[in-house]
Structure 1
Amino acid sequence: MIYTAIDTFYLTDEQLANSPSRKDGIDEATETTLRIYGCDLVQESGILLRLPQAVMATGQILFHRFYCKKSFAGFDVKKVAASCVWLASKLEENPRKARQVIIVFHRMECRKENFPMEHLNLCSKKYVDLKMELRVTERHILKETGFICHVEPPHKFIPTYLAILETPPELRQEAWNLANDSLRTTLCVRFKSEVVACGVVYAAARRFQVPLPENPPWWKAFDGEKSEIDEVCRVLAHLYSLPKTQYIPVCKDSRMSDDESKDMTKEEHVLKSKSDCRSEVIGETCKDKDRNRDRNRKRDRDRDMYRTKSRDSDRRGYKHF
């Protein structure tokens, strides 16, 4: 990954309590549910797109950062999750085409919302609109994060910490799973990755009843504090107590929100006009293909009919002879 700036995107509890979603009347439970739902979309789509875990971790952190700046009422969680996956795949040098991301999210939406599993026609206006929305939302993410896309997930610290502490091998997988689950919470925008890594190591050790040195405390060697580690464990415990999340429609407009319409730049208008032109060209191309296919079918039918008539006439001539 290309590092563009230092990792300084952290918020206080007061700032999170006064998030843009809260100001728009969305309660804490709904915001938490939508955050978890969006991160689940990022994780599941990454698996379907065969992306490494680093891409999914980057996408989820970008997702949380964006909704610290914007409201769920202004930007639909599904569109933002798709754009985060697309942007993260490019940042982590495992790029996927926009077509692949759109198709995967379309299939997931049909399955999760019990919609008919229909094929998404790449020549349709719906696909062109989805592609335009994917690009526009990606630009909003870059704009709100100030193009600071440096992400440092806690996963990279876990092997080092466990090797220094000389823990048993089974602790590594448990700590890794807890680190994956921590990305579904706001821990990534509250604490540094080193602190989150200490928290998941501590939680994994408690679960497997593995003693860790406390005199002196082991977390001091990794720039951690006991209060912060306890908070990480508390947030993870609360996460596991929540039921399975469902999509909650809180966006004001399902097609184009007020914030999107207000913040759309001149370049995005040009992109939309180009997409419309491309849609018309694709539509004409598809019509030409349909006409050619019908013409070829008619020609084949006429040829088969001519051959049948020729065989019949030959048979009648043979009988007469």
Structure 2
Amino acid sequence: MAGNFWQSSHHQQWMLDKTDLIRDRQHDLNILSDDEYQKIFNFFSSIIQVLGEQLKLRQQVIATAIVYFKRFYARNSLKCIDPLLLAPTCVFLASKVEEFGVISNSRLISTCQTVIKNKFGYAYGQQEFPYRTNHILECEFYLLENLDCCLIVYQPYRPLAGYVNDIGHDEQLMTYAWRIVNDSLRTDVSLLYPPYQIAIGALNLACVMLGKENHKSWFAELNVDLDKIQEIVRTITNMYEMWKNYDEKKEIQGLLAKMPKPKPAPQR
């Protein structure tokens, strides 16, 4: 593992270019609009979040699982693997990488069944969670191969805590900015920007939401690319605007039906 972000595989292999990202998604974007694509990823990020919470995982583990999920589909079409299978596989792998400990196979499957039935029944109706342990284990190898075994993910939480302390510790500001970092996982910023820039963007947005004008001088003194920070803020703000007019419970079934799907495996 690299001792710092700049020497890590996260920086050297997984800081993607926006143009490349759009090009690699083209197969899916021929079927789905960009808005629909983002809504689908919002939905599966929610599944990973709820699954992680039910399994009592730390937020760092959940965030890493979501980044794995986003990275896989940054290089692959949605039709390669059912996202409903990849989501728990990412949770399973992230719990090991982040040294939370291995989740037992039976607990993972039973939690998936409960979460899909009780929390996301509006999307899947009466459908049971269709996968078993052998599917998760097989999918994990495929996920590892596609991530090129680059498993260490640097998250914005640690730099965020440092920045808040530097400004002058403010519990309300920390809480708001932390939530914005969590929300940023629903966008592409974790694929496009270093974690310290995401932390600054979240802090900037939290200050605006809370009306904390007195921190402007602190931001002005930062030696960072402010255009990049504004791009991050704009991306997260655009997602919040989308949420205002989006009723997931009414729309998601139609989006999942439209989504490109893997071909079923041949019957043996």
* Conservation of the 8 A alpha-carbon contact between 1:19 and 1:69: yes
**Alignment partner of 2:137 out of 135, 139, 152:** 135
Task: Compute the RMSD of aligned alpha carbons.
Answer: 2.4
Give the match for residue 252 of structure 1. 261
Q: Which residue of 1 aligns with 2:205?
A: 203
- Counterpart secondary structure, 1:200: helix
Which residue in the other structure is 1:171 paired with?
A: 173
Aligned to 1:229: 229
* Bigger RCO (CA 8 Å, 6+ sep): 2
Q: Using a 3 Å threshold, how does the CA distance of structure 1 residues 182 and 215 change in structure 2: closer, same or farther?
A: closer
Query: How far apart in 2 are the matches of 1:100 and 1:244?
Result: 31
1:219 paired to 2:222: yes
Q: What letter matches 2:155 in structure 1?
A: P
Letter in 1 for 2:27: K
Asked if 1:109 is matched to 2:116, the reply is yes
> In the alignment, does 2:95 pair up with 1:89?
yes
Q: 2:76 aligned with 1:61, yes or no?
A: no
Q: Is 1:14 matched up with 2:19?
A: yes
Query: TM-score normalized by structure 2?
Result: 0.83
Spell out the pairing of 1:41-56 with structure 2 (5 A cutoff).
41-56=47-62
Amino acid of the structure 2 residue aligned with 1:158: L
Corresponding position of 2:45: 39
Alpha carbons of structure 1 residues 215 and 90: separation in structure 2 relative to 1, 3 Å: closer
CA–CA separation in structure 1 for the residues paired with 2:146 and 2:140: 10
Equivalent residue number for residue 269 of structure 1: none
SS at match of 2:132: helix
Query: C-alpha distance in 2, partners of 1:53/1:42?
Result: 11
| Contact 1:56 1:85 (C-alpha < 8 Å) held by counterparts | yes
Provide the TM-score with structure 1 as the length reference. 0.70
Secondary structure of the equivalent of 2:15? Answer: coil
Aligned residues: 245
Distance in 1 separating the partners of 2:241 and 2:54: 27
Does residue 76 (structure 1) correspond to residue 79 (structure 2)? The answer is no
User: 1:166 deviation in Å?
Assistant: 1.5
CA contact (8 A) 1:154 1:197 kept: yes
Q: Is the 8 A contact 2:16 2:191 kept in 1?
A: yes
Are residues 107 and 215 of structure 1, via their aligned partners in 2, closer, same or farther at CA, if it must alter by over 3 Å? Answer: closer
Matched AA of 2:217: E
Is residue 79–residue 263 contact of structure 2 (8 Å, CA) maintained in 1?
no
The answer (yes or no) to whether the contact 2:197–2:229 under 8 Å persists in 1 is yes
SS at match of 1:45: helix
Go from structure 1 to structure 2 and tell me whether the alpha carbon gap of 1:244 and 1:181 turns closer, same or farther (over 3 Å shift).
farther
Query: Match of 2:9, as an amino acid?
Result: I
TM superposition shift of 1:171: 0.4
Query: Counterpart of 1:158?
Result: 160
Deviation at 1:201, TM superposition (A): 0.5
Residue 106 of structure 1, CA deviation? 1.7
> Is the contact made by 1:76 and 1:254 (CA closer than 8 Å) also made in structure 2?
no
Q: Letter of the 2:23 partner, please give it.
A: N
- Which runs of 5 or more residues in structure 1 are unaligned? 121-125, 262-272, 274-321
State the Cα deviation string for residues 140-179 of structure 1 (Å, max 9, x = none): 1110110001101111111100111115321010000001
Q: CA deviation at 1:239?
A: 1.2
Tell me the SS of whatever aligns to 1:214.
helix
**Could you tell me which amino acid in structure 2 is paired with residue 136 of structure 1?**
E
Cα distance, 1:83 vs structure 2: 0.4
Instruction: For 2:90 and 2:182, locate their aligned partners in 1 and report how far apart those are by CA, in whole Å.
Output: 16
Shift in Å, 1:74: 2.0
Q: Distance in 2 between matches of 1:110 and 1:216?
A: 45
Query: 3-state DSSP class of the match of 2:215?
Result: coil
Percent of aligned pairs with the same amino acid: 21
